[in-house]
Structure 1
Amino acid sequence: VDFIGSGGTYAGVAKALKERNPLIKCFIVEPEGAAAAAGETVTRPEHPIQGGGYAMPDLPFLKNAPVDGYLQVSGDEARETARLLARSEGIFGGFSSGANVAAALRLLRGDQSGKTIAVVICDSGLKYLSTDLWS
């Protein structure tokens, strides 16, 4: 599960995992209202999840990358999950890390219940100290 910016991390990891085991499922995470890679109309380009959701449907890194599904996460969901990570696990991540974990938790409550899900904690919370993430 990975929130895409340029798509490079997602594409590289997904390709490597699928080479090792084609049954592994790989999911792209995007902001709710800005899921261009999923083919949805962008209605909320001002979302608060920094590092992605750039309303660019044809990211070069995603060309030929395996995608088993797309998940959208709201800014509030990403924010609250990032705070939960800090409180519960001592992981000081940013908005996109919160989005990744929120999407993973959603999958675990659904058809991926009981499975192992890997996420990328792609940023530190340090650069968000002046935002509403930590206020």
Structure 2
Amino acid sequence: TLRTGHKVGKHRIQGISDEFVPPVVDLQELDDIVDVWDGDAILMAQALARNLGLAVGISSGANFLGAAQLVEELGDEGAVTTVFCDSNKKYLSTDLCAEEPIEERYLAPRIELLGFRAVR
């Protein structure tokens, strides 16, 4: 939706690309738009829960992967911060709780989660 102005195809990340751009989003203020595969986002959300005890939804998995891509791009030249907006409670009957096949193009299987820091 952010790239085209309308929904293109199907995906399993609720709350992202819902056929509209919210009025609070000023596309002119964005430096870039990061693409994430829905299966990769599911695997990342599952890993965040399994390894760190963070019960997050699929969009948070996508959010983490987008941040990880930026870390790779920026290297030591910058800092990346992200926010997980909700928990997994609304998604327990979705593919979030199913076994997701791993594809070669996915980033999540190559990420080692070491810990996290909550900032208030």
Query: Shared fold by TM > 0.5?
Result: yes
Aligned mate of 1:83, from 26, 42, 46:
46
1:127 deviates by 1.2
Q: Which residue of 2 aligns with 1:52?
A: 16
Q: Counterpart of 2:18 in structure 1: which amino acid? A: Y
Q: Which residue of 2 aligns with 1:100?
A: 63
Change (3 A) 1:71 1:64: closer
Check if 1:69 corresponds to 2:32: yes
In the superposition, the TM-score normalised over structure 1's length comes to: 0.63
Structure 2: distance between partners of 1:65 and 1:122: 23
1:95 deviates by 0.8
Check if 1:39 corresponds to 2:4: yes
1:41 deviates by 6.5
Identity %, equivalent residues: 33
1:90 deviates by 1.3
In the superposition, the TM-score normalised over structure 2's length comes to: 0.70
1:47 deviates by 0.8
- 8 Å Cα contact 2:7/2:17 also seen in 1: no
> Please, which runs of 5 or more residues in structure 2 have no aligned partner?
99-120
**Displaced runs of 4 or more, over 4 A:** none
Structure (1/2) with the larger strand percentage: 1
Q: Which residue of 2 aligns with 1:113?
A: 75
1:125 deviates by 0.8
